[in-house]
Structure 1
């Protein structure tokens, strides 16, 4: 039997607050999963860099307990990272179900891509592969070796985990920008704006252009330097490019498209990194110049001030030229009997006429904006505002008088 105190059906107005609370809870848990993804992804990259630097500096060797322990820590952090990826998309599906949306195919593709990107890492052990496409040079002939450790290429693939920092930045900014996320999504739908990571990147570029460009430039140089060092050191141990500073110098001069020739990549992997650095240098350099040009463009107020000062200068030149025409004409007429002085003042008169005509022609291309006109416009606006306030005051007094009259009539009828 059904209890009468419990309603059989729930209305939409009753369910709306409950669904909104469940959706907000799911969004908070998804944001927590994104933060934990970034944390464990950074932990795995830290141990990867540490193990690689110890191997390159010959502090430890492959197939040792320390190397295998560091790789085990990388594998553990990667496993936890995969778990948080699956949990994050579980909450994402709940959010879409609460919003009456269904994107199962897209969610499946995204989770598969993320797992494939994050699962690649150096595994415990020392896998070897034949050396691919050995380049011919004096240095490569001296440092030749028949194999390359597989950890070098697996470490390079871990660089793609930097997308996790972009997700964290997007989630953090969205939590700060959108006090009402549902209203923001409705407005975005009406304006056909997608509130995704691209929108957040545009926001950072618009709000903090120099900081954003500097961060991107720093990350590109550091990541490419690490990739260059890893390729060269694992392929040809003992080479000069095994030093991070030398790799950083090579990446910088390649990024700037200079190329002194004091250092150059020997391995095929290093040359691919160098080519990618050159293409990035061309694109990012143009991007940096566009940001600087856009930042130093005049805004509307600055353009108005410049136009106003130019108009005032042209008006002053025309007034001075007009006064010179009158003065020089008077002086020429005064010294008409003295031929030498008359010729001098006549020449000055025609020069003043030419200057006045030129200034008048230039002045005609600009609007006649004067401070007196601006002051008069302000006075007219204030006068109009006072008239509106006086009309509203009279309306208020008439309404009060009508109310008092009505209350008096009611009282008389009651008496």
Structure 2
């Protein structure tokens, strides 16, 4: 065994050993009759603040056992259990870690994976906030209030009707806000990907755009010819100089519109040709390698 593996096993044993003692906590008997919320989970009638802080610290450190969740996902994943995945991955030097499995899940089921993570984080953060706030006997020590506070903090709304009282609770709310911003960014990326056009839809859309631009180019070319004829007709008569200058301006404007549409059509066709040629460029090295391998195998020794 390597030193790194021994260190990992030691850390795992330390994380699994952590457990609060719970010998100096008593269930709270007094409940405010004017409140319709559920009673706090537990409260302390002792004044031993070091023991209370130790209890709180051990209770928070117990959440380090959540590393077992990613191990469970990894061991029960179809990616890891599939022989075809493992054989192809070994040929391409791919390590089947939790990061790879998470990428596969986000690629196949992005909305479902993000929803499960948000619900799991919401319940976990609410329970952590309840642990931090239970000794203050405030409204945030109740589970329903903690669920509301974590939800509005995660959504970056912040009504201000409820606020944490302890430093631990403020830290949980701060971390919840950061995770809310990150999940919002992931949600925007997922929605953008769902609303984006696929390859066939893009080809149809760009084809119709090209037809529309071609029609506008023909109309612009006709306008250029018309203004040229009108300018030529007014140039024959010297009396209408104002009309001659007006037709000059109209001709220059028609030429500008014609050039702008031609440039727009050229950019659109270049973009479409890049979309078509990109898969060919991507698969070209693989074809060259196969050709080289076939030539090497067919050549005499």
TM-score normalised per structure 1: 0.49
Counterpart residue number, 1:215: 116
Q: Does 1:111 align with 2:12?
A: no
Distance across 1 between alignment mates of 2:130 and 2:215: 67
Aligned residue number for residue 70 of structure 2 = 166
- Per the alignment, residue 360 of structure 1 pairs with 259
Please tell me whether the aligned partners of residues 314 and 359 of structure 1 are also in contact (alpha carbons under 8 angstroms). no
Matches within 5 A, 1:257-268: 257-268=156-167
Does residue 129 of structure 2 align to residue 228 of structure 1? Answer: yes
Aligned length: 249
Q: CA deviation at 1:197?
A: 0.4
Unmatched 5+ stretches in structure 1? 1-102, 129-142, 371-415
Matches within 5 A, 1:37-48: none
Bigger-Rg structure (1/2) = 1
Q: Distance in 1 between matches of 2:190 and 2:141?
A: 35
Q: Is the 8 A contact 2:127 2:143 kept in 1?
A: yes
Task: Sort the Cα spacing of 1:319 and 1:366 in 2 relative to 1 into closer, same or farther, 3 A.
Answer: closer
Q: Cα offset for 1:333?
A: 8.7
Displacement of 1:198 in angstroms is 0.7
Q: Which residue of 2 aligns with 1:279?
A: 178
For the residues of structure 2 that align with 1:275 and 1:145, how far apart are their CA atoms? 30
CA shift in 2, pair 1:354/1:269, >3 Å: closer
* CA pair 348-216 structure 1, distance change in 2 beyond 3 A: farther
Query: CA separation in 1, counterparts of 2:235 and 2:79?
Result: 85
The CA distance in 2 between the partners of 1:352 and 1:294, in whole Å, is 45
Between the aligned partners of 1:314 and 1:349, the Cα distance in structure 2 is: 25
1:180-230 per-residue CA deviation (whole Å, 9 max, x = no partner) reads 3552342232xxx32100111111122222222222222222111111112
Counterpart contact for 1:188–1:195, Cα < 8 Å: no
CA distance in 2, matches of 1:353, 1:318: 15
Counterparts of 1:144 and 1:307, CA distance in 2: 73
Kept in 2, the 8 Å contact 1:122–1:151? The answer is: yes
CA distance in 2, matches of 1:231, 1:200: 34
TM-superposed deviation, 1:309: 2.9
Q: Residues 46-195 of structure 1: matches in 2 within 5 Å?
A: 104-123=2-21, 126-127=23-24, 146-147=47-48, 148=52, 151-175=55-79, 178-180=82-84, 182-189=86-93, 193-195=94-96
Contact 2:216 2:261 in 1 (8 A): no
C-alpha contact (below 8 Å) 2:79/2:101 kept by paired residues: no
- What SS does the aligned partner of 2:117 have? helix
- Unpaired stretches in structure 2, ≥5 consecutive residues: 26-43, 270-301
Aligned-pair CA distance for 1:127: 4.2
Cα separation, partners in 2 of 1:352 and 1:337, compared to 1, 3 Å: closer
Contact 1:120 1:157 in 2 (8 A): yes
